[in-house]
Amino acid sequence: MATTSNAVARRGRRARYGQQNCASYSCAVPYAVVLTGRRQDVLQAVAGQIRDAPTAPLVVPADVSDPASVNALFARVREVHGRLDVLFNNAGAFSTHALLEDLPYEAWKNAVDVNLTGAFLCTQAAFRIMKEQQPRGGRIINNGSISAHAPRPNSVAYTSTKHAVTGLTKSTSLDGRKYDIACGQIDIGNVLTERTERMKNGVPQANGTIEPEPTMDLQHVADAVLYMANLPLEANVQFMTVMATKMPFVGRG
What CATH number is given to the structural domain containing 107?
3.40.50.720
Q: Is residue 98 part of a domain?
A: yes
Nearest Cα neighbor of 115 from 156, 164, 176, 149 is: 164
Range of the domain at 88: 6-242
Give the pLDDT score at 10: 45
Catalytic, 17? Answer no
User: 59 with 33: CB under 8 angstroms?
Assistant: no
Nearest Cα neighbor of 114 from 167, 47, 200, 38 is: 38
Task: Give pLDDT tens digits for 171-215.
Answer: 999 999 999 999 999 999 888 887 788 888 888 888 889 889 888
Q: Is residue 252 part of a domain?
A: no
Task: Give the residue ranges of DSSP H helices in the chain.
Answer: 40-47, 67-81, 105-111, 118-130, 156-176, 218-230
4 pLDDT above the threshold of 70: no
Pick the catalytic residue from 17, 31, 158, 227.
158
Task: Give pLDDT tens digits for 151-170.
Answer: 889 999 999 999 999 999 99
Q: Is residue 247 part of a domain?
A: no
Task: Give pLDDT tens digits for 92-106.
Answer: 887 778 899 999 999
pLDDT greater at residue 54 or residue 64: 64
Query: How many domains does the chain contain in total?
Result: 1
Start-to-end C-alpha separation, the chain: 25
8 pLDDT above the threshold of 60: no
Q: Is residue 1 part of a domain?
A: no
107 pLDDT above the threshold of 90: yes
Local confidence band at 14 (pLDDT 50, 70, 90 cut-offs): very low
Identity of residue 23: A
Give, to the nearest 10 degrees, the angle between helix 67-81 and helix 118-130.
40
Task: Give pLDDT tens digits for 210-237.
Answer: 889 888 999 999 899 989 999 999 999 9
- DSSP strand pairing (27-28 vs 6-11): unpaired
Give the mean model confidence (pLDDT) for residues 105-133: 95
Task: Give pLDDT tens digits for 33-49.
Answer: 778 888 889 888 888 88
Q: Is residue 55 part of a domain?
A: yes
> Could you tell me how many helices (H) and strands (E) the chain has, helices first?
6, 12
The percentage of residues in the chain with a pLDDT greater than 90, rounded to a whole number, is 52
pTM: predicted TM-score of the whole model, two decimal places: 0.88
